């Protein structure tokens, strides 16, 4: 097995361990983490000064984003949320508040406003990324679906340089994430314990 193949296999193992840890968290732990995440998020200058943020609505055991989305919107930030397309790519629509979210496939919540197209993310000052882990070099471990790999590749092709920020629990900042050629390092991580920026 080549390096890339070994990296993929290592990611599968790491994902399973991290998902098990998320499932073990209690609802009160998740709620407290979501509040702390929203409180710390604006410590990151790229987020505090952003005019447009591409975010996402957390589901399942993911670190909660709803409070953060509402804080950003309350500050006058234009918040874009993803809409999953049949080909696993992401379209985008503007977040209009909690009442604007509708149930979609795979247990997702998506904005009910007009679709802006896959390239709408190119106008974001900051892109919030879901993930399962990040390491000391800013290498992010995603869920493996590839949707955000497409987003990051689209940004790179267009020469767009938004701040890339992953939202995680504190224990998901790890020593090393297996890296593959298509992985794009992030600029910062926000956890319930605070903000960490990468070189």
pLDDT grade for 189, boundaries at 50, 70 and 90: very high
| Angle at the Cα of 190 from the Cα atoms of 189 and 192, rounded to 5 degrees | 140
pTM, full prediction: 0.92
Strand ranges inside the chain, DSSP E = 52-54, 78-84, 90-94, 101-103, 109-111, 126-129, 133-134, 140-141, 163-167, 188-191, 194-197
Report the chain's terminal Cα–Cα distance, integer Å. Answer: 31
Contact 72, 96 (CB under 8 A): no
- Going along the chain from its start, the domains and CATH numbers come out as 3-197 (3.40.50.10420)
pLDDT of 5: 58
Q: Is 53 exposed, middle or buried (0-12, 13-18, 19+ CB in 10 A)?
A: buried
Q: What is the average pLDDT value for the chain, to the nearest integer?
A: 92
Range scoring the smallest mean pLDDT among 86-95, 144-153, 156-165, 190-199: 144-153
* Interatomic CA distance for residues 140 and 75, integer angstroms: 28
pLDDT grade for 7, boundaries at 50, 70 and 90: low
For residue 172, pLDDT beyond 70: yes
Tally: H helices and E strands in the chain: 5, 11
CA dist list (Å): 131 to 45, 81, 135: 21, 16, 11
For residue 169, pLDDT beyond 70: yes
For residue 4, pLDDT beyond 70: no
Question: Among residues of the chain, what percentage have pLDDT more than 90?
Answer: 80
For residue 6, pLDDT beyond 90: no
* Interatomic CA distance for residues 103 and 90, integer angstroms: 16
88: which DSSP letter? Answer: S
pLDDT of 1: 38
Q: 179: helix, coil or strand?
A: coil
The alpha carbon of 94 is separated from its chain's Cα centroid by a whole number of angstroms, namely 16
pLDDT per residue over 9-43, tens digit each?
788 888 999 999 999 999 999 999 999 999 999 99
For residue 2, pLDDT beyond 70: no
pLDDT per residue over 98-155, tens digit each?
999 999 887 889 999 999 999 999 999 999 999 999 999 999 998 878 899 999 999 9
């Amino acid at each position: 097995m080549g390096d890339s193949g070994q990296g993929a296999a290592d990611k599968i193992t790491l994902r399973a361990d991290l998902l098990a840890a998320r499932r073990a968290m209690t609802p009160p732990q998740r709620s407290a983490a979501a509040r702390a995440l929203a409180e710390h998020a604006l410590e990151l200058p790229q987020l505090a000064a952003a005019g447009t943020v591409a975010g996402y609505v957390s589901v399942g055991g993911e670190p909660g984003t709803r409070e953060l989305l509402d804080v950003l919107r309350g500050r006058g930030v234009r918040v874009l949320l993803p809409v999953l397309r049949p080909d696993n790519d992401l379209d985008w629509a503007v977040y209009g508040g909690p009442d604007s979210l509708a149930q979609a496939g795979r247990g997702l919540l998506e904005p009910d406003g007009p679709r802006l197209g896959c390239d709408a993310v190119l106008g974001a000052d900051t892109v919030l990324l879901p993930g399962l882990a990040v390491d000391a070099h800013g290498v992010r471990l995603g869920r493996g679906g590839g949707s955000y790999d497409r987003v990051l590749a689209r940004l790179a092709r267009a020469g767009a340089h938004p701040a890339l920020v992953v939202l995680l629990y504190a224990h998901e900042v790890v020593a090393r994430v297996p890296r593959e050629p298509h992985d794009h390092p992030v600029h910062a991580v926000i956890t319930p314990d605070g903000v960490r920026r990468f070189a």
